[in-house]
A and B are shown apart, each in its own frame.
Chain A
């Protein structure tokens, strides 16, 4: 993306500029407020939330809600805390991301450098599959996972996430490889290099940035998924489903501070990725929507 020189930005006077900064800061508070509320209230004793001001910093600081959310809060019927579900999510996310990214890279490579009759149609079908409402596959998926004996298991969730993740990963690599000079691939072919050698020696070394984009996108999407986790998770629910169970549980006192701590725990992995590699996250978002 060529960032043009911004020397013609509209001529503005002092008052207008103050106004602009005012609005921008206002929105900054709007976006930060929920995060502040979550953090501040996760460090308070419950009495300070029910009897105090949600927008205030804690009077008594405590890490107890975090400890409870992690290891002893009641999730469903078991007082296990969110820890086992956090582990479920990791066990589910890592293989799903790895497999869908590798397949996406290979698919993108085939679709751009080894094109054949009908490849446009295949890509179009893959592309459309990125946007379907997943309600349309829930019933058959439940049946098939049951028949395969994968219902309510991590491998079942991995299968689901890989299958519905391929569309986006293929889209990323296909658009990225399309811009890569085909002459180089042709030259390597003439030199006798085969399909995999070209992929390994020529395509992979330049695939760093798009791989980061793809991995971040898949990681964020799969970690944040709720629908598949709630439908097919069974006893091995991911973090999002467990968090929802914790917050919606109707028994006992509502422990808001524990809910907030749990929400941050569920958000932490994707938030960390965003902080470390936000640039690539934004690129992934844009590549899925705006003309490249």
Chain B
């Protein structure tokens, strides 16, 4: 026994270290590639970087320049229009479909996957499909003319004032099924006894949903909002594929702005500043949510 003690001791100590050793590559990668890089981008945003990174500090000059750029304002206003419509419409469609699907629908098993499949596609595929579907030359407008509705007009994608709404249409098509699934999961989690009791009390269908079911879905509303809001801020691929930011600059969003200022307009400092603002926006949405989620799971 006495001879074996040191070996056992070594083994226990090794066992204590193994978990941390196993975790360490991921931890190191995260600290460098996520948080280190965030710190570096923040640094670049207060530097005079142009085409290449530079480490001479210029204070908040880039931020001042950024907020004086009309292109940035266009991107921010577009994001506000896009995100509010995108979140609002996705939530409305998702909730409606979930409630309707929850009425003992025959064929639910077929409808549900159909509503959700766009979520498996790349935004580039979605953008390509909708780009041509909404093209006035070959798309819906042309189809309606061929079907005999000669005065039908749908050329939003070519119209500076309306193009941003085409992005909303394509994005809603892609994600609303997912929101439906979130609400459906919420609905299926509601205790049926509560509903039965309310029905016995004579609540109408409408007030049953308005007074009882929808308030009980609060967590699903919150999750849907957070997920959609963060997707909206990150929207990039869809814009590139659908409109390329055009016509002109009419559908630029912060993500496309960041890319073009950093990599094609040689204003890396301004690009970095816009990325920092995007990060702060997402942090403001996600941090309280994640914090609450983590707390609850304890």
Contacts and interface: CB of A to CB of B under 8 A. Distances in A.
B133 A274 contact: no
A49 interface: yes
A259 B119 contact: no
Contact of A136 (B125, B241, B278): B278
Contacts of B121: 224, 267, 270-271
B20 interface: yes
Interface string B70-103: 0000000000000000000000010011001111
Interface string A249-292: 00000001001101110110011011000100110011011111
Contact of A256 (B125, B132, B178): B132
A138 B264 CA distance: 14
Nearest to A27: B97
Nearest to B188: A3
B196 A140 contact: no
Interface string B4-18: 000000010001001
A103 interface: yes
A8 B182 contact: no
B33 A137 contact: yes
A128 B241 contact: no
B167 to A, nearest CB: 15
A134 interface: yes
B3 interface: no
Interface in B90-133: 93, 96-97, 100-105, 111, 113-126, 128-133
Given A37-B129, A38-B129, A139 B271 contact: yes
If over half of A's interface residues share one DSSP class (helix, strand or loop), that class is named, otherwise mixed; here it is helix
A281 B182 contact: no
B205 A12 contact: yes
Contacts of B177: 31
A190 interface: no
B215 interface: no
A60 interface: no
Interface residues of A, number: 106
Interface in A1-49: 1-12, 17, 20-21, 23-24, 27-28, 30-35, 37-38, 41, 49
B272 interface: yes
A140 B39 CA distance: 10
Contact of B138 (A143, A231, A256): A256
A178 B297 contact: yes
Contact of A10 (B34, B103, B241): B103
Given A24-B100, A259-B132, A266-B122, A139 B117 contact: no
A136 B276 contact: yes
A133 B275 contact: yes
A23 B92 CA distance: 13
Interface extent on B, as a size class? 35 or more
B57 interface: no
Contact of B33 (A3, A141, A263): A141
Nearest to B274: A135
A74 B177 CA distance: 35
A101 interface: no
A135 B259 contact: yes
Contacts of A143: 53
A54 interface: yes
B41 A136 contact: yes
A68 interface: no
B163 interface: no
Contacts of B111: 24, 28
Contacts of B37: 136-137, 140-141
Nearest to A37: B133
A270 B120 contact: yes
Given A31-B177, A132-B282, A135-B255, A8 B120 contact: no
A2 B124 contact: no
Complex A-B, nearest 7 residue pairs according to Cβ-Cβ distance, in ascending order: A114-B19, A224-B122, A274-B120, A226-B237, A140-B37, A137-B37, A135-B275
Given A135-B259, A195-B19, A259-B128, 7 more contacts: A12-B103, A33-B133, A131-B286, A137-B33, A224-B123, A267-B120, A274-B117
Interface of A: 1-12, 17, 20-21, 23-24, 27-28, 30-35, 37-38, 41, 49-50, 52-55, 103, 106-107, 110-111, 114, 116, 120, 122-129, 131-141, 143, 162-164, 166-167, 170, 178, 194-196, 220, 223-224, 226-227, 230-231, 240, 243-244, 247-248, 256, 259-260, 262-264, 266-267, 270-271, 273-274, 278, 281-282, 285-286, 288-292
9 contacts: A10-B208, A37-B132, A103-B25, A135-B275, A227-B237, A260-B132, A273-B120, A289-B226, A290-B186
